[in-house]
Amino acid sequence: MSRKYSKELLDKIVERQEVVDIKGAQVLVKKLPDSDEIGAMDTRLYNDTKKQMTIMRLMPKSMMKMDTSPKSIFKLRNMFGEVKSNPIVEKNIDIINEHVEAIDGYKIPVRIYKSETMKENAPILYFIHGGGFFGGSPDVVEELVKLIVEKTDILALSVDYRLAPENPYPTGHEDCYSVLNWIYDNAKNLGGDKNNIFVAGDSAGGNLTQYCTTKDFESNLGMVKGQLLLYPTVNMANIEDEFFKWSKDEYEMHSKHRHGIEMMLDMFNGLSGGLKDILGTDDIKNGYLTPYIRDAKGLPPTFITVGEHDFLKVECLAYASKLAKAGVDTTTVLYKGFGHAYGDNIGVYPQSEDCAIEMGNFILKYSK
């Protein structure tokens, strides 16, 4: 129950942060707490990934492409399902297991998180885990959810939706939306406020989150008060426009870390290229899998966060710009020195805890 870093680093992150305009979006840039080297990886992250990068250096480029065979999916699921967080939550958080009926009758597992000091008629966080639509689990993001609950005393739920490729698109997406409807209908009994539901998700979970928000918007139900997108997949079809054109030139990379960063970018490029095969659809240009193409006007307040060296950084910042241009109240947070999935590292990196704090602040701000 202890952090692998000093709390002083948390304070330094806040002291050194600054707001920068990036293509019309106001971005809160979180600098490294203990380094001024431009384009450098966080020292703690670099030390933890040196072994992985050494292995990747020896891998042929053909292995960087997405292999959708059952054997490969099994291996990737083990990797994506690894719990990396270090527990730091001190409050007693009750976890209740529930099941929600999907549109085809399947019972979707749901976890409910309540702190010992939960607010009355509490705002609700509904979290959807990532994992490329084929991996991950509520276990991976549980410490992130628990930390937000501890710091805000809100009610939280997470969903264990069905995974592809065994359950092709749109099964997982529809599962997530079914749970949103259930939360709205049962909020009072859970001790939450149905008028203050915030949907959140990381990576593929960010895409599933935007799907829930979009379906809610299309149905004019008004269930979603705000959404939180952690390094989300929002432009699966790689649609180029005034804000988006992917290039390594969009990345600042310190010379001592350049090779490792480029390998990580190439790896995620290879993985993302196989998503349509994983999902079992050729229609990735639709407005649900590629919400980037939709008119964003009218969407609820949106929180977006991404790492400086994340393969998805370019599309995430482009999406923030599109939302801002459409008049959506958008909070964007960029973490220097990081790549993907820092929400999975609570207690390991100060930036992960800082992200949980920013998420909690966003929810409390817009639930008033």
- Strands of 155-159's sheet in order across: 18-22, 25-30, 330-335, 302-307, 224-230, 192-202, 122-128, 155-159, 107-115, 93-101
Strands 25-30 and 330-335 come out as: parallel
pTM of the model: 0.96
Q: How many domains does the chain have?
A: 1
Residue 178 lies in a domain: yes
184-196 tens-digit pLDDT: 999 999 999 999 9
Residue 2 lies in a domain: no
126-158 tens-digit pLDDT: 999 999 999 999 999 999 999 999 999 999 999
Residue 270 lies in a domain: yes
CATH number at residue 98: 3.40.50.1820
| 210 or 67, higher pLDDT | 210
pLDDT at 368: 80
Tally of residues, the chain: 368
Mean pLDDT (the chain) is 94
Whole-angstrom Cα distance, residue 155 to residue 359? 14
| 181 or 53, higher pLDDT | 181
Mean pLDDT of 35-45: 97
Over pLDDT 70: what percentage of the chain? Answer: 95
Among 70-74, 77-81, 164-168, 170-174, whose mean pLDDT is lowest?
A: 70-74
Residue 151 lies in a domain: yes
Residue 1 lies in a domain: no
82-108 tens-digit pLDDT: 999 999 999 999 999 999 999 999 999
The range of the structural domain enclosing residue 328 comes to 7-366
